């Protein structure tokens, strides 16, 4: 399946809307750069790259539940990797032709914050053969009780 085939127009109105100044005041500079400016954290530097703790990964921008530890797998790519979002409505997929590549960008459906990209067909032994490659700084892990 082409993940871009079910792309939802990112022009839909986010449930959480804030001005750029509000986001800048609320988020630390690294999270702001990723979530609001589509930056990418350096590989192998994020706090959740190798985390195996059980829990739910929320959006650091708005607190929406995005991923669960049960779908996190070791991709060795340098960023936290998941094979499926917590809910297909939790994220928006959008074609991204920046940097001379065609990729599929992953955004938080609630606040439209940039999370990372999704790749597929890479041969990982996961149920979906997809890799949601997500910036740690865009997430917050809420450990299981």
The residue ranges that bind Zn ion (CB under 5 A) are 59, 61-62, 64, 108, 110-111, 113
**Least distance from Zn ion to the Cβ atom of residue 83, Å:** 20
If the CB atoms of residues 86 and 111 are measured against Zn ion, the closer one turns out to be: 111
Residue 91, CA atoms < 13 Å, CB-side half-sphere? 30
Q: How far is Cα 102 from Cα 106, in angstroms, rounded to an integer?
A: 13
**Least distance from Zn ion to the Cβ atom of residue 141, Å:** 15
If the CB atoms of residues 59 and 93 are measured against Zn ion, the closer one turns out to be: 59
Residues forming the active site: 133
Please state, as a whole number, how many other Cβ atoms lie within 10 Å of the Cβ of residue 131.
22
Handedness of CA 46, 78, 97, 141 (dihedral sign): negative
Closest CA to 3 of 133, 95, 126: 95
**Least distance from Zn ion to the Cβ atom of residue 64, Å:** 5
H or E element in which residue 36 lies? helix 29-37
Contact predicate 81/72, CB 8 Å: yes
If the CB atoms of residues 85 and 113 are measured against Zn ion, the closer one turns out to be: 113
């Amino acid at each position: 399946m082409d993940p871009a085939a079910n792309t939802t127009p990112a022009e839909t109105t986010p449930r959480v809307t804030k001005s750029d100044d509000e986001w800048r005041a609320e988020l630390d500079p690294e999270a702001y750069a990723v979530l609001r400016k589509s930056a990418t954290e350096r590989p192998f530097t994020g706090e959740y790259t190798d985390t195996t703790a059980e829990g739910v990964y929320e959006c650091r921008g708005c607190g929406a539940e995005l991923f669960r530890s049960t779908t996190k797998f070791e991709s060795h790519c340098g960023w936290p990797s998941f094979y499926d979002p917590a809910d297909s409505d939790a994220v928006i997929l959008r074609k991204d032709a920046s940097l001379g590549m065609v990729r599929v960008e992953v955004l938080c459906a609630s606040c439209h914050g940039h999370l990372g990209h999704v790749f597929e067909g890479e041969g990982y032994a996961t149920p979906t053969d997809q890799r949601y490659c997500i910036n740690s700084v865009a997430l917050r892990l809420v450990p299981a009780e």
